[in-house]
Amino acid sequence: MANPRFIFAIPCLLALLICHGVSGRRTAPLSESGSPSSVPAPISRRNMLANSFGLTPPMGWNSWNHFACDVDEKIIKAAADALVSTGLAKLGYRYVNIDDCWAEINRDDKGNLVPKNSTFPSGIKALAEYVHSKNLKLGIYSSAGYLTCSKTMPGSLGYEEQDAKTFANWGIDYLKYDNCNHDGSKPTVRFPVMTRALMKAGRRIFYSLCEWGDMHPALWGYTVGNSWRTTNDIADTWDSMISRADQNEVYAEYARPGGWNDPDMLEVGNGGMTNDEYVIHFSLWAISKAPLIIGCDVRNATKETLRILTNREVIAVNQDSHGVQAKKVRMEGDIEIWAGPLSGYRVAVVLLNRGPIRYPITAEWDDIGIPLKSTLVVRDLWEHKTLRTRFDGNFTAMVNPHACKMYIFKPVG
C-alpha cells in the first residue's frame, strides 16, 4: 500500500523544486565556494523516503564496470559465489546487482519485460532464488526512458507500475534506475513515478537514482530514492576517479541515513590504477559515505584487491551509525585533508597527496573539528595500528605521491 506520508511528500517536493528554480541539464549555478547557489538548507531527516532502507550506505557488487553488456546468469551466480567464498559477503557486501542488457529488446504480448533468453535462460526469479539462498540480495537495472542506455532493452517509462510489480514478483531487492532515452521531461518528474510504483509493488526495494547529477539530485533525492548519482560514469583511471570524488564532495551536507550521494561504483581491482590509487579510491568512497558497490571481477580478485576491499576498519567508517559525509577541510596545492565525524566523538581523517612528490601533511585539531586542547589517540586504518604517541594540537604524517593515509582520531583528554 502507498505510504500516506510519501504521497504527501511528492507535491511538496515538486513545489520545492519549482520555488528554487532547478531546471534543465546542468544549469543550477555553483557559487565560488563550489556549492550550488540556489541550494535550500538541508532538509530534516524526517522527510526521508519512507521505505526505511539505506540507514547506512549500501554495499555489494554490480556487473557494469567490468562486464558491461557481456553479462549472463553464470557470471551473476559466480559473482554471488565469490562474494561468499572471499568473505566479502560477511563484511556486508550483500547486493548482487545486474546492470544493463539483461532483457530482450521487446516486451511480451502483455507488456512484461522478458529476460534475455540467450543470456538469462533460467529467468530472473530463479536467479533471485539462487542469490537469496546464499543469504545475498539481487539488484536489477532499468531506465526512466523508452530504452535503457545500451539501447538493447526496454526502459520502464510508461510501464513503471507493471515493471515494479514484475521486479517485486521476481524477488528483486535493489533497483538502479537510469536516465537514458526518455521523453524530454525532467528526472524530477520521471523518477518519482517509479518511487510510487515501488511503494505499491508489495516488496521493499532499495531505489538507486542514476540521473548522473544533472539536476542536483542531492537537493531532492531524499524523498525519491535511497541514493542518487552525483556524477557522470566513472572510468578506471586516476583522473576519472579523483574528479568524481571532488564533484561528490560538494554535496556532503545532503547525505544522511536513508539517502546517500553516489559518486558511482568502485573500480578497485579493474587494473587501470596503481594499488595506492585504489587505496585512495576506497578510502575516499568510505569516508564520503558512498555506496560501496564493487565493480571488478570478484571471481578473480587478486590478494591486493581483496586486501583493499576487505579492510574492516575502513568499511566501519563507511557504515558508521552517524552517517555524516566527510568534507575537504583543508586544501593546499596537491595536499588535501578530508575529515568527518563518527559516532563516539571520533573523527575519520584522510591525508591525501594528489601530487608527484612525497610530502608531510599536518592535520590541525581546528581543521578537523576537535577542541583545541584535546589529546588524541590515533589509529592508522591501513596499517591496522594504534600509534604509541598521543597527540596534542596537530598530527603530521609523510604521505607518498598519489597515496593517502587514513586514520580515526579519538580524544582521550
Q: Site residues (CB under 6 A) for ligand GLA? A: 64, 99-100, 148-150, 178, 210, 212, 233
Euclidean distance between CA atoms 286 and 320, whole angstroms: 10
For residues 144 and 197, which CB has a smaller minimum distance to ligand GLA in the complex?
A: 144
Minimum distance from residue 399 beta carbon to ligand GLA (Å): 31
For residues 99 and 336, which CB has a smaller minimum distance to ligand GLA in the complex?
A: 99
Minimum distance from residue 115 beta carbon to ligand GLA (Å): 17
For residue 213, the SS3 value is: coil
For residue 237, the SS3 value is: coil
HEC secondary structure over 274-333: CHHHHHHHHHHHHHCCCCEEECCCHHHCCHHHHHHHCCHHHHHHHCCCCCCCCEEEEEEC
Residues known to be catalytic: 178, 233
The count of other CB atoms within 10 Å of the CB of residue 74 is 11
Minimum distance from residue 267 beta carbon to ligand GLA (Å): 12
DSSP letters spanning 341-363: E-STT-EEEEEEE-SSS-EEEEE
Euclidean distance between CA atoms 305 and 297, whole angstroms: 10
Spatial contact of 232 and 243, defined as CB atoms under 8 Å apart: no
For residues 167 and 212, which CB has a smaller minimum distance to ligand GLA in the complex?
A: 212
Minimum distance from residue 178 beta carbon to ligand GLA (Å): 5
For residues 171 and 295, which CB has a smaller minimum distance to ligand GLA in the complex?
A: 295
Minimum distance from residue 75 beta carbon to ligand GLA (Å): 15
Euclidean distance between CA atoms 13 and 193, whole angstroms: 13
For residues 209 and 348, which CB has a smaller minimum distance to ligand GLA in the complex?
A: 209
> What values do phi and psi take at 199, rounded to 5?
-65, -30
Euclidean distance between CA atoms 406 and 412, whole angstroms: 19
Residue sitting closest to ligand GLA (CB): 149
Residue 336 corresponds to which cell in the numbers above? 588535501
Euclidean distance between CA atoms 8 and 4, whole angstroms: 6
Minimum distance from residue 64 beta carbon to ligand GLA (Å): 5
For residues 148 and 288, which CB has a smaller minimum distance to ligand GLA in the complex?
A: 148
For residue 406, the SS3 value is: strand
